[in-house]
């Protein structure tokens, strides 16, 4: 996987920037682009995690770098429950509406949501300890700042991040909005086309 220095060097080479006076600015644009990509759903951001719901519990910490959920299965008393078979993902407001008088019953959870504090919550207290197998989309837990730092975008998403960084730099420093933006849109379209194939066929 590539590094922040590799992205910066390609940006400088493509824009004809010599020396190191613009390195800090370019690094800042890279981080800006990465922040803009949070909560995106691309195949190369997909991850798996196995979470443990304790007996009597309803809240589970999410993996480091969690961005947005895809789906989750509940394994409860050796039976697997999926989105359409008894363990449904809902938004948090709908989850709280399922809890009468804000008091959770003790039974098998039938719904879950991502809470505002960044945890996974279920609609009930688990009668027994259970396993939640989740597939989710990740983001960088920390953004790259040193030359050797990397990002989950610096592999399949490398060209898009590089082109987007060039677009920001050229826009704010050279006044050229059209040329780099066109290249960025081309790479974005390629990512979207690949994404439709990989996620559409269920490949991870």
pLDDT at residue number 105: 95
Average pLDDT, integer, range 71-89 = 97
pLDDT at residue number 183: 64
All structural domains of the chain with their residue ranges: 4-38+142-200, 45-138
End-to-end CA distance of the chain: 18
Average pLDDT, integer, range 175-201 = 64
pLDDT at residue number 177: 47
Q: What is the pTM of this model?
A: 0.82
pLDDT, tens only, 97-143: 999 888 999 999 999 999 999 999 999 999 999 999 999 999 999 99
pLDDT at residue number 198: 66
Distances in Å between the alpha carbon of 44 and those of 14, 72, 164, 166, 198?
Answer: 26, 18, 18, 22, 9
């Amino acid at each position: 996987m590539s590094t922040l220095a590799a992205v910066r060097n390609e940006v400088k080479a493509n824009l004809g920037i010599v020396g190191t006076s613009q390195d800090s600015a370019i690094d800042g644009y890279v981080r800006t682009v990465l922040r803009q990509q949070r909560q995106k759903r691309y195949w190369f951001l997909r991850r798996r995690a196995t979470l443990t719901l304790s007996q009597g519990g309803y809240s589970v910490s999410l993996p480091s770098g969690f961005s947005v959920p895809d789906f989750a299965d509940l394994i409860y008393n050796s039976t697997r429950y999926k989105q359409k078979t008894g363990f449904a993902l809902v938004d948090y407001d709908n989850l709280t509406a399922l809890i009468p008088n804000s008091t959770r019953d003790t039974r098998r959870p039938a719904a879950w949501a991502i809470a505002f504090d960044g945890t996974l919550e279920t609609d009930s207290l688990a009668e027994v300890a259970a396993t939640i197998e989740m597939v989710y989309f990740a983001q960088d837990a920390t953004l790259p700042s040193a030359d050797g730092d990397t990002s989950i975008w610096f592999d399949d998403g490398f060209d898009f991040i590089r082109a987007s960084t060039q677009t920001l730099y050229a826009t704010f420093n050279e006044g050229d909005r059209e040329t780099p933006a066109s290249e960025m849109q081309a790479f974005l379209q390629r990512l979207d086309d690949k994404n439709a194939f990989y996620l559409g066929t269920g490949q991870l």
